[in-house]
C-alpha cells in the first residue's frame, strides 16, 4: 500500500477533509494534498508524526510507508524502532514502546502514549477510571474478579 492511499483512507474513515487534517496537524492543506497524492515522496518525520497523532494511526507504519528504513531493537519488555533515511543512512527518528502492547495494537499503544504525555493528571485519571470500569465490567461478565 502507498502512503497517500493509506492516509486518504484513514482521513476519510474519521470524516476529515484535507483542511481538517491540515488544521489538526499544523501543516497547510497543500502539504496534506502533496503527501496524499505522492508529490511529496518522503514527508518529514514531524509531519508524519502529526498526521499519525491526528488520525490515531501507527506512526511507525507511516514511516515505513514513506520509505524510511526501520531497524527494530528488542529487549525483554521494550521495543525500539529506529528509522533511517535510505539515502544518507542518517537516523531521523526513534520510537520506543512496551513490546506486548505494540504487538497487540499499535494504534492503541500510540493513543496511550499520547494520553500519558499530553493530557493533564486529572484527565489521565478520568480515562484510567473509565478504562478500569470497562475492564472490571468485562471481568464480571466472564465471572472473574475485579482488579
| Per-residue pLDDT reduced to its tens digit, 76-94 | 777 788 889 988 999 998 8
Considering the domain architecture, whether residues 50 and 118 belong to the same structural domain is answered as no
Give CA 4 to chain center in angstroms: 16
Considering the domain architecture, whether residues 17 and 89 belong to the same structural domain is answered as yes
Considering the domain architecture, whether residues 20 and 59 belong to the same structural domain is answered as yes
pLDDT category of residue 49 using cuts at 50, 70 and 90:
very high
Rounding to the nearest 10 degrees, give the CA dihedral for residues 60, 70, 42, 32.
0
pLDDT of residue 35: 97
pLDDT of residue 62: 94
Q: Environment class of residue 112 by beta-carbon count within 10 Å: exposed (0-12), middle (13-18) or buried (19+)?
A: middle
Considering the domain architecture, whether residues 23 and 94 belong to the same structural domain is answered as yes
Pick the closest to residue 50 from 11, 1, 88, 77 (CA basis). 11
Considering the domain architecture, whether residues 52 and 119 belong to the same structural domain is answered as no
| Per-residue pLDDT reduced to its tens digit, 50-63 | 999 899 898 889 99
Cα gap 97→103, rounded to integer Å: 10
Considering the domain architecture, whether residues 140 and 112 belong to the same structural domain is answered as yes
Considering the domain architecture, whether residues 32 and 89 belong to the same structural domain is answered as yes
Cα gap 91→82, rounded to integer Å: 7
pLDDT of residue 55: 93
| Per-residue pLDDT reduced to its tens digit, 105-145 | 877 777 787 788 788 889 989 988 898 888 888 888 887 55
Locate 7 and state its grid cell: 492516509
CATH number of the domain within which 57 lies = 1.10.260.40
Considering the domain architecture, whether residues 113 and 137 belong to the same structural domain is answered as yes
Give the number of domains in the chain.
2
pLDDT of residue 145: 52
| Per-residue pLDDT reduced to its tens digit, 5-43 | 999 999 999 999 999 999 999 999 999 999 999 999 899
Considering the domain architecture, whether residues 25 and 40 belong to the same structural domain is answered as yes
Which residues have CB under 8 Å from 82's CB, separation 6+?
A: 70, 71, 72, 73, 91, 93, 94
Considering the domain architecture, whether residues 89 and 128 belong to the same structural domain is answered as no
Residues 40, 31 contacting (CB under 8 angstroms): yes
Cα gap 57→97, rounded to integer Å: 15
Considering the domain architecture, whether residues 115 and 95 belong to the same structural domain is answered as no
Domain containing 110 equals 105-147
pLDDT of residue 22: 96
Choice between 1 and 144, residue whose per-residue pLDDT is larger:
1
Considering the domain architecture, whether residues 122 and 98 belong to the same structural domain is answered as no
pLDDT of residue 144: 56
Amino acid at each position: 500500500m502507498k502512503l497517500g492511499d493509506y492516509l486518504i483512507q484513514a482521513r476519510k474513515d474519521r470524516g476529515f477533509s484535507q483542511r481538517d487534517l491540515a488544521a489538526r496537524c499544523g501543516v497547510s492543506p497543500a502539504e496534506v494534498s502533496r503527501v496524499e497524492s505522492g508529490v511529496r515522496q518522503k514527508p518529514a518525520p514531524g509531519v508524519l508524526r502529526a498526521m499519525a497523532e491526528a488520525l490515531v494511526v501507527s506512526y511507525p507504519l507511516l514511516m515505513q510507508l514513506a520509505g524510511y528504513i526501520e531497524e527494530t531493537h528488542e529487549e525483554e519488555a521494550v521495543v525500539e524502532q529506529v528509522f533511517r533515511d535510505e539515502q544518507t543512512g542518517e537516523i531521523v527518528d526513534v520510537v520506543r514502546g512496551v513490546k506486548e502492547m505494540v504487538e497487540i495494537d499499535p494504534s492503541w499503544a500510540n493513543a496511550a502514549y499520547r494520553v500519558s504525555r499530553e493530557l493533564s493528571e486529572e484527565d489521565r485519571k478520568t480515562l484510567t477510571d473509565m478504562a478500569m470500569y470497562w475492564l472490571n465490567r468485562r471481568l464480571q461478565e466472564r465471572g472473574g474478579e475485579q482488579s
